[in-house]
Amino acid sequence: MKSNHVTPSEVVAMISVGVPVLGILMGGIYSWPAIHFTNGRDPWLTLLLAVGLAITVFGIGLPFQTPLLHSGLLYLVGICLLLLRRAMDGGLGGNLERFGEVHGVVFMLTWLLVIVPRFLAEQVANQVP
């Protein structure tokens, strides 16, 4: 019978996996410092979060040679999502999750911009006689 006690090695494993996932995927690496740096005041908070989205989109897209137009359009979509989310909630209110939703969507779409064209090119290359 297994006990509910968590060992120190399990705690270390959870932290080593959980912190990067929450920090990178959910945008905590941008939103937490931005909230504290600006004291949650606009327009500076929104501007810093938009810069964080740019770092994500272009920081992943440029090394993988994603067309600049595609990355730029995705960045504009990300800004629209950020502004829409801010308008729906009336601000972040110190909650990382609200920006995390936007950042998570943009993060996944950025990787799709990298993966899908490569996959399609590979499929076309395999069909050439």
For residue 15, count other CB atoms closer than 10 A to its CB: 10
Q: What is the pLDDT of residues 39-58, one digit of tens each?
A: 878 788 889 889 989 998 99
- Confidence category of residue 1, pLDDT binned at 50, 70, 90: very low
* Within a domain: 81: yes
* Within a domain: 55: yes
* Within a domain: 2: no
Mean pLDDT (the chain) is: 80
CA distances from 35 to 15, 23, 53, 105 (A): 23, 14, 15, 20
* Within a domain: 121: yes
Number of domains the chain is built from: 1
* Within a domain: 69: yes
* Within a domain: 103: yes
Burial class (CB in 10 A: 0-12, 13-18, 19+), 100: buried
Q: Domain range spanning residue 59? A: 8-127
Q: What is the pLDDT of residues 4-41, one digit of tens each?
A: 666 777 667 766 766 666 666 667 777 778 888 888 78
Quick one: average pLDDT of 81-92? 80
pLDDT of residue 71: 94
Quick one: average pLDDT of 67-78? 95
Q: What is the pTM of this model?
A: 0.75
